[in-house]
Structure 1
Amino acid sequence: MVNLLDMISWLPSIPYQPAGEGYWSPVTSTINWCEEDYYATIYSAEIVNTLTNLLFMYLAFKGIASCIRNDHDRIFLVTYLGYLVVGTGSFWFHATLKCKSSDKRHGSNETDRAPDPWQLVDELSMIYTTCLMCYATFSYNKSKQYSIILAVFLIALAAFITGYYHYLQDPTFHQNAYALLTATVLLRAMYIMETSLRPSLRSAEKKQDRDDAEETDDTKATKEYNRQDRRDGDILKNMWMLIGTGLTIFLSGFGIWALDNVFCSKLIGWRRQIGLPWGILLEGHGWWHIMTGVGAYYYIVWGIWLRHCLNGKHDEYDLVWPNIFLRVPVVVRREGPNKASYQNGSAKKSM
C-alpha cells in the first residue's frame, strides 16, 4: 500500500487541514468513527460520512415514487419511508456528532452521556425498517389474528431493543440485533421464493392440476403450464441475481467498515499522505453507507417483486434492470401485453 501511495504522490492534491473545532463542537457522541472531525468545513463534523447518506435519501425517494406510481403494497411504501429516516438520521448525526449530557456521576468527574435523538434515529431506524420487512415477509397469506399477534410481537421486540440499547449503549448489541433480524427475514423470504416459484417445489395441488391436464390431453392447459414454468424459471434466475448482487454489495460494505475500524490509524496516515480529494476513497465508513444503502435497496426491491409473484401477478410486473453496474433495479407495472421486459440488461417480449 505504501508503494502505491508513492506511485500516486504526483497527483495534484490539497493537504488535509488539522482536525479542529466546528459549528457543532464539542463532539460529544458516544461513538466516533475513523474520519477526522471538521477537517473540511466547520458545518459538518464528518463530511464524507454525512454526504454519503444523500444516496440513502435519493434511493428512498426513488422507491417511494415507484410504490406510488406502480401500486406496490403499502407495507413497502412504509418501508421506504423508514429507509428515508435511516438516511436522514445518519446525515444529521454524522454532521453534528452530538449527544445529550446528563448529571455527573456520583463521586466522579465523568459525565453520563445519553445518545442524541439523531444518533438513535441513525442506529435504531435500521432495526425498525427491518421489523417492517419482517412483518411483510411473515404475515403474507396469514389470518388477521396471526398478523395482529405478529405486529404486537415485533413492536414489543423493537421497544425492547430500543430500551436495552439505550441502557447498554454498546454498538455491538445493536449490530448483532440488526444482523440477526436481517438474516431471519432474508432466509424466510428465500424459502418462500423457492417453494412458491420453483416448479419442482410447488404445492401438491398445483402439481395435481398439471398432471390432470396432461392426462386429459388438454393441450392448451399444458402449454400454459409450460409457459408458466419457463416464466417462473426466468424470474427465479433474475431474483437470485438480484439477491446475490445485493448481498455482495451489502456484505462488502460491512467488510470495509471492519477494516476501517481495525486499521484506522494507518488509514488516517495514508489519507494525509495522499491529500484531498484522493483521501476520500479511504473513508471506510462512507463506503459502508454507500454499499449497505444500495444493498438494502436491492433487498426491498426483491421483496416487492416477490410479493407481486405471490399475489399471482407474475405477468403484470417486470424487473427493470438494464445495467447491473450502472443502474439500480426497479419493479414496474406493465402498460400492455407486448411491453418489453428488461431483465439484467436484456430486453425480451412478454408473452
Structure 2
Amino acid sequence: MGGILGDTVRNEEDYFWGRRTSTIDWCEENYAVSDYIAEFWNTLTNFVMMTMAILGICSSIRYGHGKRVTAMYAGLLVVSCGSALFHMTLKYTTQLLDELPMLYTCATALYALIEIDKDIKFGLRLPALLALFQAAVTLIYIFWIQNPAFHQAAFATTTIGTVFYAYKRFVVLDPCTETRRLLIKLRLLADIGMWGGFFLWNIDTIFCEKLRSYRSYVGVPLDAVLQLHGWWHILTAFGSTYNIIAVHIVRLAQHGLDKQFTVHYCMGVFPYVGKVHSTKSD
C-alpha cells in the first residue's frame, strides 16, 4: 500500500532479520526499538485488527452464521498476521503475506454479498471467476509487475465491486428501523476509519522526513504518537471490521434474523455481533 525511501539510518545487516528485501519501506525507523522487530510500532498496532477478527470468528461460529461470514473475519485475521510479519521482518515474502490476503478478503466479502441468500444462485461459476481473477493478479504481481501500484489498482477494483453490492443490498432490503439505523452507523464508522487512516497514511508518506525529525525531538515515549502508519493500522482495522460487520448484519437481515442481533463491544472498544438480549461477559 505505497511506500517511501528505504531507511538508511542503520546498517540492517547487524540486526536479527538482516537486509531488507521488501520492495517498500515505511517511515518508522528500522530496528529503533528492538533488534528483533524491524518496525516495532507498525508491528504492534496490527494486534488491534487481530483482536477484532478473532471476536468476529468466535461470534460467527457461536451463532452459526455460516462459513461465508466466518471466512470474512478469518481473512481479516490473515491480513493482520501477514502485516505484522511484514513489518517485523521487512522481507519480500512477508510483504506478499500482507498485501495479497487483502485481495482475497475483499473478494470473500464480495462473494458473501452477491450470494447473500442461503440457497446458492451461481453455483461454482462465481467463486471460480473470483478465484481466477485473484490468481491472475497474484501471479502477475509475483512474477511480472512487482509494483505496489498494481496491487493497489487490483485491490481498488475488488473494493469498488464490494461497495457497489453493499449499497445495492442496503437499498433493496427493508429491515426494521433499528437495523437500518445500525447499518447507517456502521457505514459511517467504517468510512471514518478507512478515510481517516488513508489521510494519515498519506501524511506519513509525504512528510516522512519531518515526522522523523519531530520524533527525534520529542523522544521516547511521545515519539510513538507520531508513528502515523501505526495509526493507519488502527483506523483501518476499525474501518475494515465495521465494513465486515455491516455485511454480517445485511446477511442477517436478508435471513430475517436482524432483530435478534446487534453490535456489542468487548472491553467497550472492540465491536462484534452478538445477541440483542445476551448477557455481556466482556
Write the distance in 2 (CA, Å) between the matches of 1:72 and 1:319: 14
Write the distance in 2 (CA, Å) between the matches of 1:65 and 1:333: 13
- Identify if the C-alpha distance between structure 1 residues 319 and 142 changes in structure 2 by more than 3 Å, giving closer, same or farther: closer
Q: Structure 1 residue 85 and structure 2 residue 29: aligned?
A: no
Q: CA deviation at 1:318?
A: 2.7
SS in 1 for 2:190: helix
CA contact (8 A) 1:139 1:147 kept: no
Q: CA deviation at 1:264?
A: 0.7
Match of residue 137, structure 2, among 150, 161, 167: 161
Q: Structure 1 residue 38 and structure 2 residue 38: aligned?
A: no
Alignment-derived partner of residue 206 in structure 2:
262
Write the distance in 1 (CA, Å) between the matches of 2:166 and 2:75: 20
CA contact (8 A) 2:49 2:80 kept: yes
- Identify if the C-alpha distance between structure 1 residues 56 and 329 changes in structure 2 by more than 3 Å, giving closer, same or farther: closer
Q: Structure 1 residue 172 and structure 2 residue 169: aligned?
A: no
**What TM-score comes out, normalization by structure 1 length?**
0.72
Q: CA deviation at 1:64?
A: 1.1
CA contact (8 A) 1:75 1:136 kept: yes
Alignment-derived partner of residue 189 in structure 2:
245
SS in 1 for 2:269: coil
Alignment-derived partner of residue 271 in structure 2:
329
**What TM-score comes out, normalization by structure 2 length?**
0.89
Taking only aligned residues, the RMSD between alpha carbons, in angstroms, comes to 2.2
- Identify if the C-alpha distance between structure 1 residues 340 and 123 changes in structure 2 by more than 3 Å, giving closer, same or farther: closer
CA contact (8 A) 1:86 1:122 kept: yes
Q: Which has the larger radius of gyration?
A: 1
Q: Which has the higher contact order (CA 8 A, sep 6+)?
A: 2
- Identify if the C-alpha distance between structure 1 residues 69 and 287 changes in structure 2 by more than 3 Å, giving closer, same or farther: same
Alignment-derived partner of residue 215 in structure 1:
none
Letter in 1 for 2:258: H
- The count of aligned residue pairs is 269
Write the distance in 1 (CA, Å) between the matches of 2:37 and 2:271: 32
Write the distance in 1 (CA, Å) between the matches of 2:223 and 2:139: 38
Write the distance in 2 (CA, Å) between the matches of 1:341 and 1:194: 32
Deviations 1:207-255 (A, max 9, x none): xxxxxxxxxxxxxxxxxxxxxxxxx122111210111011111111011
Structure 1 runs not aligned, ≥5 long:
1-17, 99-114, 199-231, 343-351
- Identify if the C-alpha distance between structure 1 residues 28 and 321 changes in structure 2 by more than 3 Å, giving closer, same or farther: closer
SS in 1 for 2:263: strand
Structure 2 runs not aligned, ≥5 long:
1-8
**1:264-279 to 2 correspondences below 5 Å:** 264-279=208-223
SS in 1 for 2:122: helix
CA contact (8 A) 1:127 1:158 kept: yes
Letter in 1 for 2:49: F
Write the distance in 2 (CA, Å) between the matches of 1:331 and 1:82: 17
Write the distance in 1 (CA, Å) between the matches of 2:71 and 2:155: 19
Letter in 2 for 1:282: L
Letter in 1 for 2:180: L
Write the distance in 2 (CA, Å) between the matches of 1:297 and 1:275: 33
- Identify if the C-alpha distance between structure 1 residues 321 and 191 changes in structure 2 by more than 3 Å, giving closer, same or farther: farther
CA contact (8 A) 1:35 1:46 kept: yes
SS in 2 for 1:329: strand
**1:187-226 to 2 correspondences below 5 Å:** 187-197=164-174
Write the distance in 2 (CA, Å) between the matches of 1:307 and 1:322: 22
Deviations 1:283-332 (A, max 9, x none): 12111111111111111111111101101123332333599xx5233222
SS in 1 for 2:34: coil
Alignment-derived partner of residue 130 in structure 1:
106
Alignment-derived partner of residue 182 in structure 1:
159
Percent identity among equivalent residues? 33
Write the distance in 2 (CA, Å) between the matches of 1:126 and 1:233: 33
Write the distance in 1 (CA, Å) between the matches of 2:158 and 2:203: 23
